[in-house]
């Protein structure tokens, strides 16, 4: 009996995702950039310190946090947390309350008396910092960590800049602010108060400074022209908020009007209520969706009885009588006059239409250029046109916030360090950002954000802090809500899902995993289940060396 066999020519492409020698893709462990880290103006490694806080290592988390931001207790209160707007967790329930955990760590550090741990490099220079606001304090702090001797010279009677003079105590208690400033001074930073620098080059030379960082902020209120037959009491918001912190706060009368729609306008109106005004009214020429103030600021102002007149502009003032024109938005969202006029009454007017910076004292320095609004032009290294003089914060062209100013200080410190050591600073390349669409949340659980308690509305007649902090269990729970986007957190998912025993090797706690490519089939199961997208598939190389253990550093 003869048996015949039919042979068929097989197409190798059918097995391109198969095993062994036919493997066309291999998995590698990667580190991607979490969107929270990317969105933070201070450049914090948010994901790293949240992981430590989740594990209960609070001091370790704080030490990682202050590698980039010296004022966590302050930022946990006054930062508008763009990191949370970018948080991938919003696609599940609500963002991680990053600012609340930051505040918890910052306050705990003050309570426990923790001190920054760092080893300063020898051979540093001597740097003058002009201005003790957030940017100047940040630059001084980071320069000290980098091994330089720093002196801050501040024109005012206290350090803190606009954090102190522009943010009321019900948002930023002075005890925590002063304590974090003192910690910077205790590191060796000399802070000289009531010293207004008017000739930078003379002070640089006479003090033997090798470089200067200037961060004088924006403390001058913008001027507007309002026709007035007989003007009553008119104050600018910055001066007003500054005066409220003295022993003799200004007396404004029973009815107070505030002109503007930013956070400063909200603070001015709420402060007026706390100082005894029966009625506080904000007049703003656009609608609520266009106002520069944050929504929660307007919400709290309205809760406290502040009235807001949207789409109104002041046309004329006669003592306590205001002629206000009603505006309407055109197709481009810009306010246009309607000709309809209303009459409002107020005993005083506070102007909160923005601030300018006082940079005139720099105009005698050659090669320093200015924008039309007076801000100082700097290059990518934060240096002005004059070698060795750097600038940052509100006095340079940029968006304005405490966190942005602190980020400028850190950035300038790194470039100043490179300038002084003749070793130009080169920023490390950034990983790709990992968006929500790249996550594989097979374990998705709904765990909404823990709300911070508020001071009851009935008790908001004083300057006591309104927003309270999280308890330790709440802060630890909140830290645990982090999805660890783009970075392995050792969930063992890849190890458990791999169909080839031994293809994934666990290296021990904190060391992650390694692929054994002799056993890996390239099936991509590990990649497809990885919740944080810390595994990627790459084309199979001609000759591929064994992958280094644990992937790259974050």
CATH of the domain at 48: 1.10.1060.10
Whole-number Å distance between alpha carbons of 54 and 298:
33
Please give the pLDDT value at position 436.
94
What's the pLDDT at 355? Answer: 87
Is 179 in the same domain as 78?
Answer: no
CATH number for the domain spanning 248: value is: 3.50.50.60
Predicted confidence at residue 21, as pLDDT, reads 52
Start-end of H helices in 226-294: 237-243, 263-274
Instruction: Measure CA 455 to chain center.
Output: 25
Q: Do residues 99 and 140 both lie within one domain? A: no
Is residue 180 located within the same domain as residue 285? no
Which residue, 295, 330, 351, sits at the end of a domain? 351
Beta strand pairing call for 321-329 and 312-319: antiparallel
pLDDT value of residue 333 = 86
Task: Note the pLDDT of residue 457.
Answer: 92
Do 345 and 323 reside in the same domain of the chain? yes
pLDDT, tens digit (0-9, with 9 covering 90-100), for 7-42 = 434 444 443 444 545 788 999 999 999 999 999 999
Same domain, 286 and 212: no
Residue carrying structure tokens 């006669």: 318
HEC string of 377-396 equals CCCCCCECCCCCEEECHHHC
Would 269 be classed as within a structural domain? yes
Q: Of 459, 480, 501, which marks where a domain is finished?
A: 480
- The 10s digit of each residue's pLDDT in 214-236 is 999 888 888 888 877 666 788 99
- b/e code 104-140 from CB counts within 10 Å (16+ = b): bbbbbbbeeebebeeeeeeebbbbbbbbbbbbbbbbb
Distance between CA 469 and CA 111 in Å, rounded?
13
Question: Do residues 487 and 531 touch, judged by C-beta distance below 8 A?
Answer: no
Taking Cα atoms as reference points, which of 371, 353, 354 lies closest to residue 362?
A: 371
Number of domains observed in the structure of the chain: 4
CATH number at residue 18: 3.30.70.20
Whether residue 111 is contained in a domain is answered as yes
pLDDT at 545: 47
Residues 203 and 271 in one domain: no
- Looking at the structure, tell me whether residues 324 and 228 fall in a common domain: yes
Does 158 share its domain with 76?
Answer: no
Please check whether residues 347 and 267 belong to one and the same domain: yes
User: Which residues of the chain, if any, have pLDDT below 70?
Assistant: 1-21, 229-231, 543-554
| Predicted pLDDT at 492 | 94
Residue with tokens 């967790």: 89
| Segment holding 256, helix H or strand E | strand 255-259
142 and 42 in a common domain: no
Please state, as a whole number, how many other Cβ atoms lie within 10 Å of the Cβ of residue 208: 10
- Asked if residue 285 belongs to a domain, the reply is yes
Residue 551 lies in a domain: no
The whole-number pLDDT of residue 16 equals 40
Q: Is 121 domain-assigned? A: no
Task: Give a yes or no: residue 132 inside a domain.
Answer: yes
Q: Is residue 138 part of a domain?
A: yes
Both 152 and 262 in a single domain?
no
Element (H, E) at 234: strand 233-236
Asked whether residue 344 falls in the same domain as residue 246, the answer is yes
Range of the domain at 248: 222-351
Tell whether 427 is covered by a domain: no
Last residue of a domain, one of 351, 368, 393: 351
């Amino acid at each position: 009996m003869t048996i015949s066999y039919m042979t068929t020519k097989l197409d190798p492409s059918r097995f391109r995702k198969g095993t062994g020698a036919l493997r066309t893709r291999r998995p590698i462990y990667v580190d991607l950039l979490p969107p929270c880290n990317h969105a933070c103006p201070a450049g914090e490694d948010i994901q790293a310190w949240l992981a430590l806080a989740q594990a209960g290592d609070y001091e370790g988390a704080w030490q990682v946090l202050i590698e980039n931001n010296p004022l966590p207790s302050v930022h946990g209160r006054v930062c508008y947390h763009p990191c949370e707007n970018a948080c991938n967790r919003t696609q599940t329930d609500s963002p991680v309350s990053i600012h609340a955990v930051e505040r918890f760590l910052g306050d705990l550090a003050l309570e426990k008396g923790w001190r920054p741990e760092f080893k300063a490099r020898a051979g540093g220079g001597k740097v003058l910092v002009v201005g003790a606001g957030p940017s100047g304090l940040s630059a001084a702090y980071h320069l000290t960590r980098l091994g330089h001797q720093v002196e801050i010279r501040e024109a005012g009677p206290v350090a803190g800049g606009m954090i102190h003079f522009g943010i009321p105590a019900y948002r930023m208690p002075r005890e925590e602010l002063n304590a974090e400033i003192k910690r910077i001074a205790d590191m060796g930073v000399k802070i000289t108060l009531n010293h207004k620098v008017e000739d930078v080059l003379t002070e640089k030379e006479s003090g033997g400074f090798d470089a200067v960082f200037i961060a004088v902020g924006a403390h001058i209120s913008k001027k507007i022209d309002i026709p007035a037959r007989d003007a009553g009491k008119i104050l600018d918001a910055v001066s007003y908020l500054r005066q409220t912190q003295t022993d003799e706060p200004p007396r404004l009368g029973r009815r107070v009007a505030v002109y503007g729609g930013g956070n400063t306008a909200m603070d001015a109106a709420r402060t007026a209520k706390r100082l005894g005004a029966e009625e506080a009214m904000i007049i703003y020429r656009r609608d609520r969706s266009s106002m520069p103030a944050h929504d929660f600021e307007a919400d709290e102002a309205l809760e406290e009885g502040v009235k807001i007149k949207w789409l109104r502009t002041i046309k004329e003032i006669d003592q306590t009588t205001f002629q206000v024109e009603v505006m309407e938005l055109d197709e481009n969202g810009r306010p246009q006059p309607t000709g309809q006029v209303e009459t409002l009454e107020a005993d005083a007017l506070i102007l909160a239409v923005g601030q300018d910076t006082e940079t005139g004292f720099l105009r005698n320095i050659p090669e320093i250029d200015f924008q039309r609004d007076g801000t100082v032009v700097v290059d990518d290294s934060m240096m002005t046109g004059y070698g060795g003089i750097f600038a940052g914060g509100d006095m340079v062209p940029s968006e304005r916030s405490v966190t942005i100013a602190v980020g400028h200080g850190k950035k300038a410190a790194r470039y100043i360090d490179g300038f002084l050591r003749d070793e130009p600073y080169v920023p490390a390349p950034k990983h790709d950002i990992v968006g929500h669409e790249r996550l594989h949340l097979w374990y998705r659980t709904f765990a909404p954000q823990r709300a911070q308690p508020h001071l009851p509305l009935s008790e908001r007649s004083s300057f006591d802090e309104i927003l309270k902090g999280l308890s330790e269990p709440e802060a630890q729970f909140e830290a645990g809500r982090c999805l660890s986007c783009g970075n392995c957190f050792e969930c063992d998912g890849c190890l458990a899902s791999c169909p080839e025993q031994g293809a994934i090797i666990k290296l021990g706690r904190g060391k992650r995993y390694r692929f054994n490519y002799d056993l890996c089939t390239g099936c991509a199961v590990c990649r497809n289940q990885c919740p944080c997208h810390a595994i990627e598939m790459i084309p199979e190389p001609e000759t591929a060396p064994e992958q280094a253990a644990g992937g790259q550093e974050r």
